[in-house]
Amino acid sequence: MEDILHIDMDAFYASVEQRDHPEYKGKPLVVSGDVGSRSVISTASYEARKYNIFSAMPLAAALKKCPDIIIINPDFKKYASASDHIKTILHEYSPEIEQASIDEFYLNISGSHLLFGSSFEIAKKIQSHIKKELQLTCSIGISYNKLLAKMASNIKKPEGITHITGSNLSALFDHLEIEKIPGLGKKAALKLHMINVFTIKELKKLSLKKLNELFGINGTYFYNASRGIGSSELIFSNDVKSISNEITLKYDTMDQNIIKKIMLKLSDQVASRLRMDKLKGKTIKIKLRYYDFKTISKQLTLVEFINTADDLYRIGLDLIDDMISRPIRLIGVGVSSLIHENNEQLSLFKNNKKLEFEKNIDVINKKFGSKTIKRGSLL
């Protein structure tokens, strides 16, 4: 059954501003900082997108394309209030909600059909309900896992509903550009373009071995994603089966060196907590909050369980690579899908030198203080 919905609000910040200021309706509008600053665009209205103006574009570049564009300073309390209202509406249709960002939600409606009808009927009711109460539109994807539901919600915008099933998967999916796969960013796309892979259909022709040679651990994800294989498990905000840590930066930054240093520090902290509790995990999650308070996350589920900082840092860098599109104010690293290390099936060929090394550091820091031994790059 296709019981996973992805609800994606259309041009959320801009739509809220157009709703609250009728004089802006039908006009190109962006939510950004002051004209004189080094601001980037947080959200562009659909009228602005006709000028090829999109989120993460420098404001100065947008003004060159449309000098008369309306610039609104963000009101994050107002957007958060609207987001909370949307979540309240969604709770009327299912208690199983994952909030992926301020304007994106996953909903499991497997237990809602007797009350509200088919998956498509539920999606229509949600759209109408949100529009009636908040005067905002959303696009909804319906499928049997989160990956396909998210991709489906992006096919018809604004205010569209797309239903991906096993029977229409190839027809809707194969012709899409590889960049439409969540998590397949510019660098990965460029590598694939160099071997004449531009569409999902072409990506499916590559073997798992070839993709792993090109992308390491991410190769398995690309292999599965091109075939529509993904998780349907929702992550709830009260989930305690994970270990994570996050840092709010003193200053917003896009500096790669600063971000790498913070990622390494967080990886050390999370890995140390895992080992302290004798746990390993295989789902790695990176969380970013941008200067405009929009929060996004990306995760990857591995084949093997890990609890070393080196592994966590390496995978985290791969995940975060294409997320650094605008100044960042908060970075978080987390690990879930946990298992007690005594329950893990050991591999005869697995190299445990890194693990033993980090465990020895744990022992010394526990005895003499948490800051006794630090990585040189963190000094």
- Annotated catalytic residues are 104
272 neighbors 362 (Cβ within 8 angstroms): yes
Own/partner pairs, 288-291, CB within 8 angstroms, 24+ separation: 288/320, 288/323, 288/324, 288/328, 288/330, 288/331, 288/332, 289/248, 289/328, 289/329, 289/330, 290/42, 290/252, 290/326, 290/327, 290/328, 290/329, 291/252, 291/326, 291/327, 291/328, 291/329
Residue type, 173: F
Contact 361, 370 (CB under 8 A): no
Within 10 A of 51 (CB to CB), how many other CB atoms are there? 14
Per the CB < 8 A criterion, the answer to whether 328 and 259 are in contact is yes
Sheet (strand 295-306) strand order: 242-253, 328-340, 279-290, 295-306
Q: How many CB atoms are closer than 10 A to CB 265?
A: 20
- DSSP structural state of residue 95: S
Cis peptide before 158 (omega within 30 of 0): yes
